[in-house]
Amino acid sequence: MVGHAFMGRAHANAFRQVGRFFDLPFEVTPRVVVGRDPDRAEAARRQLGFLESSVDLAAVLERDDVSIVDVATPNDSHAEIAIAALKAGKHVLCEKPLALNLAQAKRMAALAKKAKMQVGLWHNYRRCPAASLAQQMIKRGEIGKVRQVRAVYLQDWLSDAKALGSWRTKQKVCGSGAHGDLNAHLIDMTHFLTGLRFAEVSGMEQTFVKRRRDADGKSRSVDVDDALAFLARFEGGAIGTFEATRMAPGRKNYNQIEVNGTEGSIRWNLERMNELELFRFDAPRDGQGFRRIMCMDEPHPYAANWWPDGHILGYEHTFVNTLADFLRSLRGRKVFSPNFDDGLRVQAVLDAALKSAKTRRWVKVSS
Amino acid sequence: MVGHAFMGRAHANAFRQVGRFFDLPFEVTPRVVVGRDPDRAEAARRQLGFLESSVDLAAVLERDDVSIVDVATPNDSHAEIAIAALKAGKHVLCEKPLALNLAQAKRMAALAKKAKMQVGLWHNYRRCPAASLAQQMIKRGEIGKVRQVRAVYLQDWLSDAKALGSWRTKQKVCGSGAHGDLNAHLIDMTHFLTGLRFAEVSGMEQTFVKRRRDADGKSRSVDVDDALAFLARFEGGAIGTFEATRMAPGRKNYNQIEVNGTEGSIRWNLERMNELELFRFDAPRDGQGFRRIMCMDEPHPYAANWWPDGHILGYEHTFVNTLADFLRSLRGRKVFSPNFDDGLRVQAVLDAALKSAKTRRWVKVSS
Amino acid sequence: MVGHAFMGRAHANAFRQVGRFFDLPFEVTPRVVVGRDPDRAEAARRQLGFLESSVDLAAVLERDDVSIVDVATPNDSHAEIAIAALKAGKHVLCEKPLALNLAQAKRMAALAKKAKMQVGLWHNYRRCPAASLAQQMIKRGEIGKVRQVRAVYLQDWLSDAKALGSWRTKQKVCGSGAHGDLNAHLIDMTHFLTGLRFAEVSGMEQTFVKRRRDADGKSRSVDVDDALAFLARFEGGAIGTFEATRMAPGRKNYNQIEVNGTEGSIRWNLERMNELELFRFDAPRDGQGFRRIMCMDEPHPYAANWWPDGHILGYEHTFVNTLADFLRSLRGRKVFSPNFDDGLRVQAVLDAALKSAKTRRWVKVSS
Amino acid sequence: MVGHAFMGRAHANAFRQVGRFFDLPFEVTPRVVVGRDPDRAEAARRQLGFLESSVDLAAVLERDDVSIVDVATPNDSHAEIAIAALKAGKHVLCEKPLALNLAQAKRMAALAKKAKMQVGLWHNYRRCPAASLAQQMIKRGEIGKVRQVRAVYLQDWLSDAKALGSWRTKQKVCGSGAHGDLNAHLIDMTHFLTGLRFAEVSGMEQTFVKRRRDADGKSRSVDVDDALAFLARFEGGAIGTFEATRMAPGRKNYNQIEVNGTEGSIRWNLERMNELELFRFDAPRDGQGFRRIMCMDEPHPYAANWWPDGHILGYEHTFVNTLADFLRSLRGRKVFSPNFDDGLRVQAVLDAALKSAKTRRWVKVSS
């Protein structure tokens, strides 16, 4: 595992836990954690339960006892590390978004295709049981043909003009602000749930607080969006609205998607991630309504691996579920998804929306 | 009152009820209902509690015992009737949207300004107690400076491709579809709650079902939108997203607006119209959360006129509250709002969004 | 109509409105309002839309142009007025609870049975569309055989020890406190929804604030309950819990009932009176959940008489719906319900629970 | 750890995870899992991450490298194992309820008092962040003096008459049904949140399905309650209602408690365990309402040990939080709570309620 901050903690937890709750074709050993600073890497090793720490990625990539490389670093190093790992013949798991920009993403996806190792992207919310269930329901036709998507990802941690800046407010490190961080989730979830492909987008961005003090006490310009919204047309006639913001007071992790079809609707919200809302035009007419499905009963996806009916899961379990499926894919012939192609598709939409926001025109999504 | 369909019923109820619940400077008598068909007008008179019916609007406008003309007809006759009434020296109440298009709206507003009678627009949701409270709270600074608006009006009555067409699906009668019908409410509510002015918009529309059978059994083309979404930039830097649709299964009258400010957020939804959700960054930090305010306690707007604490109001009460304020304005010097200027402002945004949807460009909102 | 306070206002509204929204076999004229004080009765007449006012009930009861007597007074005069009206050959509508105690209730019900006029009790919540729908659903077997009832009626207007006392805190006028006022609703709703009959109860009461100042400034002892809860066994093996309180901060009119059957559950809450929650063990297993039914669509009870789909009703409409059914019953042969027998049944449970609270024993419900 | 079924899995997870998320005074090693069947114990060892398995509890208790004994067996063996462990000088953690009956519980608590080792009871819901927050808020006076408690624990897994019987439906193994299983949680939570002591109770129980087939195919009588409700009087005048059932369709793990005080109310529900609802009579009057607090922000209890703001926890985290506090207590002088005295207090209430249900009288809670 390369990187050991917030995302590293979530991934490491998945590596430790996956074998305890899933019946897997082999055992996983969290072996080496790689960082830039030896002391911090060693502290992370102890805390996160790895056997070794290292600051020499190249050396680690040459080892035979390392089969999977997990990229848990900020966005600007995903491409470099993932490419090196693929060239070294490793399976690769990569934090989202796949890359800083479309060009990088294309190179990564092309290489992944040649490499024939399994590559996975940590779009972990796909494996939230309620989201998986939503995908199954849409696929089996419960809401008919999809017409509209309505997705928002609202947070509030930058509402305060005095909140500190960080790498997340620097264009050079993260590419964009709320957009790449949050809209990436919405776009991938839309792909996952509906199977639709974006045709074109019209975006709008805003940076409400133009300068922020960083942790080092210096005030620097904020060159990424605080909020970015866009309209979308999909191939085949469906339409959608998307919005990401870090400035919505009271919304902590309000990642919500509603899908309207010809015969029903579905809604999911990360703040109540164990619940799914489903509406269907089914008989009798006086009994129709959105139903709130508690998605931790035995028939629900992944539920049987965890606790008895009605005992809810939290944020981190989505990573464990993702890892379980990834590990299983290593023994099978099926390509794991989301992979770099999925990441590339997300990146193409992110890029188009950002370009649209800057040019003030509708932009076609490259495919 | 001119017209006696759905809106006429709601207005007539307000005329009958207002004096029972509000202390007014004078008594209101629902005198003449005007229609095109004498039998149907007479039936409406009986049902709705008027003294007379008529098919001769011109004659009614000449009567001295008629002080207020209420325009409750479909959108394509608002301008003609309101203008005639103003010219006859009557106070005018007009159903929304003000007009079929911006040119009409401008003429109406200009005439109203000269006429110096009170003119009112039935943007009734402003006087839902929870919405009035929201406006007061934003005005007194409870959520700080407004940064973002997020408004949707979702219905589902056209989801079924077999649902009948009507005047509401004919461009010639109503100007647009979900847009003029529903976005008009969202735009006026935004004006009312935030005081912001729209600067420019980027829209997208879709007609999912291109032909519908009308009540007469004939299939006709649908030349208005089923759904129209738009991005908005306001003067001063705030941004917003807006969407109206008649194709969201399970959403009956889901008119929802969320406003994010620098210090808090507010959300209101017509489906639970008696509740207001308020979030504030106030101390202590571990007790912050969206609070659900039941807006029918004695200190809430209009509540004291109705029932004891916690006894909720329904749809029609918003009309009664509106009428009460309008009638009071007849004795005062304060200009009633929403009036034709407010309607014109809404129309300008509607027009710009529609134009943008058709030209695929950002369009400035004329002022 | 005898009495013209809060309840009088709600009844008067029903008399004025019922003909505007329902197709009735005859027209209703709100003729005489009867009070104790001539000035206040006259003011009420004007405000509420009656033709005459009077302080002489006996004289009014002799008039031929009065067909229905509506009892809208405090609890201690229900019996006397209703009995006089029945003896005078009038149809009678009576505010709930039917009487101050079981003995009174029995006399009233016996007289009503002989009299053969229609008698009605204003248990208005039965005709809230969502509650009517719940009753229909349970009757047609949607939740199977009922096993458990869980009902609470929570208010908070006496939480403050400084809130004023009134007739509602005097045993002599109202019989009991939260119990007769609020549990009466829960008991009637249970009868209505489930058809179950109470067999025996075990109660507990508490008066948290023992003395209160009245409006006249004098402090008097509070000799009724602030809260009264009871356990119930029904004939046939079902069980239930019931609780009424005026001391639950934040609960304004939280009248909630949940019914669990062998195949499903149903829940209704007056604070969101237009919604009904329904759960059913129906296939497929991964799609089960409580559904929130917005009960103002065309197929729902009473909805077609009011507004288009999704336009909600308020508190007062339950009275109008009740009156409409009562008036229709005058032309039919079907006995209107809830009537004095229903009121007697409620009274029997109220009495048993109160007796149990005082004796600290299970008490059988007389039938 | 003795026992390795559902509860054993949850405890084992806590042993593995606690050091990863909490800074502890020493490292924890999950050493021996003890079972009755050597093969199943060994399989559990592998699955749950222990170093050894054993079927010889006596031998394990003699080992010096075992400091803590965790009792994760069904209720009928808690007393025997915990007593043996205490006699062997071990710290003890015990699954709830403490014992099969009050006599056992008294012996355990007495021994624990003498032993002076730390003893803990797995009333894990106390350490759900939202519940901990509720306790802090009540303690610091945010809702004033407590007057009423309203607690229900609703499940539905025995609604189906064909659901299989198990040790949970056998009086001999578990003492009671829903009562000991679920009301135990409600009673402990009441103690924890309010600090109130139960004075007397009046209970009612029901077994709706009198016989069930067990996993071995044989039909046996069900001699425990399916549902048990009771009224409670607390010392000092507060009152409460309590209900546990396994027959409420649609309720999966609906463990809900509402506490009403003189100045506010608080509500928590396990199905949305990361949220807390708080109402306060605080100014201004028009802004009062229940607020929904998302309890996973940095200032909330335990939140800083897990993920960034708004990333929710699940069921199992309550065990990890509990264990962290227990381990810290081993180094301190403060007695850990909940301990056997807390368990004894719960048991006294459980016993009194069960006795009351059987004798149909109010029963005093022994102290």
Write out chain A in H/E/C secondary structure.
CECCCHHHHHHHHHHHHHHHHCCCCCCCCCCEEECCCHHHHHHHHHHHCCCEEECCHHHHHHCCCCCEEEECCCHHHHHHHHHHHHHCCCEEEECCCCCCCHHHHHHHHHHHHHHCCCEEECCHHHHCHHHHHHHHHHHCCCCCCEEEEEEEEECCCCCCCCCCCCHHHCHHHHCCCHHHHHHHHHHHHHHHHHCCCEEEEEEEEECCCCEEECCCCCEEECCCCCEEEEEEEECCCCEEEEEEECCCCCCCCEEEEEEEECCEEEEEEHHHCCEEEEEECCCCHHHCCEEEEECCCCCCCCHHHCCCCCCCCCCCHHHHHHHHHHHHHHHCCCCCCCCHHHHHHHHHHHHHHHHHHHHCECEECCC
Contact A326, A93 (CB under 8 A): yes
Alpha-carbon distance values, D6 to A277, D3, D11, D126 (Å): 29, 9, 9, 19
Determine, for residues C271 and B309 on separate chains, whether the beta-carbon distance falls below 8 Å. no
User: How far apart, in Å, are the Cα atoms of D270 and each of C236, C287, D69, D153?
Assistant: 32, 21, 28, 9
Is it the case that residue B332 has pLDDT exceeding 90? no
Mean pLDDT calculated for residue range A171-199? 95
Query: Could you identify the residue written with the tokens 């590390």?
Result: A81
Amino acid B236: pLDDT: 97
Mean pLDDT of A115-136: 96
Chain B positions touching chain A (beta carbons under 8 Å) = 143, 147-148, 150, 152, 159-161, 202-204, 206, 208, 227, 229-231, 233, 237, 239, 241, 243, 245, 247-251, 258, 260-265, 279-281, 288-290, 360-362
Q: DSSP assignment, residue C361?
A: B
User: Rounded to whole angstroms, how far apart are CA atoms A363 and A352?
Assistant: 6
Q: How many CB pairs under 8 A join A and B?
A: 112
In chain B, DSSP finds a helix count (H) and a strand count (E) of 11, 16
Same fold, D6-95 and D128-312+339-359: no
Instruction: Give residue B321's Cα distance to chain centre.
Output: 13
Question: Do B186 and B255 form a contact (C-beta atoms < 8 A)?
Answer: yes
- CA dist C280 and C267 (Å) reads 12
Helix, coil or strand: residue C359: helix
Q: What is the structure's pLDDT at C277?
A: 98
Element (H, E) at B112: helix B102-115
Q: Which residues pair with A260 in a beta bridge?
A: A148, A265
Give the ipTM.
0.95
Within 10 Å of residue A22's Cβ, how many Cβ atoms?
18
Distance CA B21, CA A185 (A): 51
Q: Average pLDDT, stretch D236-260?
A: 97
pLDDT score, position D229: 98
3-state secondary structure of C35: coil
pLDDT, one tens digit per residue, over D345-364 is 999 999 999 999 999 999 99
% of chain D at pLDDT higher than 90: 91
Q: Which residues of A touch B208 (CB under 8 A)?
A: 147, 237
Calculate the CA dihedral of residues A75, A51, A307, D315 and round it to 10 degrees. -70
Contacts of D278 in chain B (CB under 8 A): 287, 289
Q: Which of A48, A155, A310 faces D20 most closely, judged by CB atoms?
A: A48
- Of the residues D137, D143, D146, D147, the best mutation for testing chain C's interface (the one with the most C CB atoms within 10 Å of its CB) is D147
Neighbors of chain B with 3 or more C-beta pairs under 8 Å: A, C, D
> In 3D, which of C19, C16, C31 has the Cα closest to residue C64?
C31
Average pLDDT over residues B359-365: 98
Average pLDDT score over residue span C219-242: 97
Longest dimension (CA), chain B: 67
Architecture (CATH level 2) of domain B128-314+338-359: 2-Layer Sandwich (3.30)
**Type of residue found at B270:** L
Identify the CATH assignment for B6-95 out of 3.40.720.10, 3.40.50.720, 3.40.50.2300, 2.70.170.10.
3.40.50.720
C225: three-class secondary structure by DSSP: coil
Does the distance separating the beta carbons of D231 and C231 come in below 8 Å? yes
CA–CA dist A223, A171 (Å, integer): 6
- Average pLDDT of the segment spanning C19-30: 93
**What is the Rg, in whole angstroms, of the alpha carbon atoms belonging to chain C?**
21
Give per-residue pLDDT as tens, D264-292: 999 999 999 999 999 999 878 999 999 99
pLDDT of residue D282: 86
Q: How confident is the model at residue A100 (pLDDT cuts 50, 70, 90)?
A: confident
Contact B151, B257 (CB under 8 A): yes
Q: Which residues contact C347 (CB under 8 A, 6 or more apart)?
A: C97, C98, C99, C101, C102, C105
Query: Is the predicted pLDDT of residue C283 greater than 80, yes or no?
Result: no
The Cα–Cα gap between C173 and A133 comes to: 58
Would you kindly state where each structural domain of chain A is located, as residue ranges?
6-95, 127-314+339-359
Residue D114 has pLDDT above 90, yes or no: yes
Average pLDDT, stretch B183-196? Answer: 98
Residues of D in contact with B136 (CB under 8 A): 286
Tell me if B85 sits within 8 A of B69, measured CB to CB.
Answer: yes
Question: What residue has token string 């889901």?
Answer: B254
pTM attached to this predicted model: 0.96
Distance CA D33, CA D50 (A): 7
> What is the Cα D55 distance to its own chain's centre?
26
Chain D residues touching chain B at CB-CB below 8 Å: 133, 136-137, 142, 276, 278, 284-294, 297, 299-300
> Can you give the pLDDT at residue D204?
98
C273: chain B residues, CB-CB within 8 Å: 312
Closest Cα in chain A, distance from residue C254 (Å): 22
Supply the Cα-derived Rg of chain B in whole angstroms. 21
Give pLDDT, residue A116.
Answer: 81
Map tokens 């911090």 to a residue: A40
Whether residues D314 and A310 touch (CB distance < 8 A) is answered with: no
Q: What is the DSSP letter of B258?
A: E
Please compute the mean of the pLDDT values over residues C347-359 and round it to a whole number. Answer: 97
Would you say the C-alpha torsion B14, B11, B125, B335 has a positive or negative sign?
negative
pLDDT > 80? residue D367:
no
Cβ–Cβ of A245/B260 closer than 8 Å? yes
The helix-helix angle for C6-21 and B6-21 (nearest 10°) equals 160
Q: How far is C315 from chain D (nearest CA, A)?
A: 20
The angle, 0 to 180 degrees and rounded to 10, between the axes of the packed helices B340-359 and B102-115 is 170
- Asked which of B164-168, B331-335, C185-189, C334-338 is least confident by mean pLDDT, the reply is B331-335
pLDDT band at D29 (very low <50, low <70, confident <90, very high): very high
Separation between Cα atoms, residue B163 and residue D286, nearest integer Å: 43
Number of neighbouring beta carbons within 10 Å of residue D34: 30
Cα(D280)–Cα(D261) distance, integer angstroms: 9
Chain D residues whose beta carbon lies within 8 Å of the beta carbon of residue B133: 286
- D211/D252 Cα distance (integer angstroms): 23
SS3 D233: strand
Average pLDDT over residues A158-184: 93
Q: How sure is the predictor about D302, in pLDDT bands with cuts at 50, 70 and 90?
A: very high
Arithmetic mean of pLDDT over chain D? 96
What element of type H or E holds C199?
Answer: strand C198-206
φ, ψ for residue C139, nearest 5 deg:
-65, -40
If you ran DSSP here, which 8-state letter would residue B139 be given? H
The verdict on a CB contact (< 8 Å) between B248 and A204 is no
**Separation CA D86–CA D69 (nearest Å):** 9
Q: What is the pLDDT of residue C282?
A: 86
- Among all residues of chain D, which has the CA nearest to that of B278? D287
- In sequence order, what are the residues at sequence separation of 6 or more whose Cβ sits closer than 8 angstroms to the Cβ of residue B70? B1, B2, B11, B15, B92, B93, B94
Residues C168/C217, Cβ–Cβ less than 8 Å: no
* CATH class of domain segment(s) A127-314+339-359: alpha beta
Give me the CATH code for the C128-359 domain, please: 3.30.360.10
The band of D137, judged by pLDDT with boundaries at 50, 70 and 90, is very high
- pLDDT at D141 (0 to 100): 97
Indicate the range of A123-132, A242-251, B329-338, D314-323 predicted with least confidence: B329-338
Sole residue written with tokens 């001769």: B56
Can you tell me the mean pLDDT for B240-258? 97
pLDDT in tens, A343-356: 999 999 999 999 99
For a pLDDT cut of 70, what percent of chain B falls above it?
100
Convert D236-301 into a string of H (helix), E (strand) and C (coil).
CCCEEEEEEECCCCCCCCEEEEEEEECCEEEEEEHHHCCEEEEEECCCCHHHCCEEEEECCCCCCC
Residues in chain A within 8 Å Cβ distance of C310: none
Distance of CA C125 to the CA centre of its chain: 6
Nearest residue of C to residue D279, measured between CA atoms:
C250
Cα–Cα dist A308/A295, whole Å = 11
Question: How far is C-alpha A140 from the chain's CA centre?
Answer: 24
Strands (E), chain B: 32-34, 52-54, 68-71, 91-94, 119-121, 146-154, 198-206, 211-213, 219-221, 227-234, 239-245, 254-261, 264-269, 275-280, 290-294, 363-364
Taking any CB pair shorter than 8 Å as contact, residues of chain C touching chain A are: 133, 136-137, 142, 276, 278, 284-294, 297, 299-300
Q: Average pLDDT, stretch D65-75? A: 95
CB C254 within 8 A of CB C154: yes
Q: Which residue of B has its CA nearest to C19?
A: B47
What pLDDT band is residue A92 in, cutting at 50, 70 and 90?
very high
Flag if D289 and B286 touch (Cβ within 8 Å): no
Which chains contact D through at least 3 pairs of Cβ atoms less than 8 Å apart? A, B, C
- Using a CB–CB cut-off of 8 Å, the residues of A that contact B are 143, 147-148, 150, 152, 159-161, 202-204, 206, 208, 227, 229-231, 233, 237, 239, 241, 243, 245, 247-251, 258, 260-265, 279-281, 288-290, 360-362
**Residues of chain D contacting C, Cβ within 8 Å:** 143, 147-148, 150, 152, 159-161, 202-204, 206, 208, 227, 229-231, 233, 237, 239, 241, 243, 245, 247-251, 258, 260-265, 279-281, 288-290, 360-362
| DSSP per-residue codes, D312-352 | ---TTHHHHHHHHHHHHHHHSSSPPSS-HHHHHHHHHHHHH
pLDDT at residue A179 in the model? 97
Q: Nearest-CA neighbor of D150 among D248, D292, D261, D31?
A: D261
Closest-CA distance, A196 to chain C, in angstroms, reads: 23
For C70-97, write each residue's pLDDT tens digit: 999 988 999 999 999 999 999 999 999 8
pLDDT, one tens digit per residue, over B13-35 is 999 999 999 999 888 999 999 99
pLDDT of residue C26: 87
Residues A327, A158: contact at Cβ < 8 Å? Answer: no
CATH (residue range D128-312+339-359): 3.30.360.10
Tokens of B118: 């009170």
Contact D291 B292 (CB under 8 A): yes
- Mean pLDDT, chain C, as a whole number? 96
Q: Answer yes or no: are the C-beta atoms of A323 and A15 closer than 8 Å.
A: yes
Looking at residue B130, what is its pLDDT?
Answer: 98
CB-nearest to A285 from C278, C285, C299 is C299
Instruction: Answer whether residue A283 shows pLDDT above 80.
Output: no
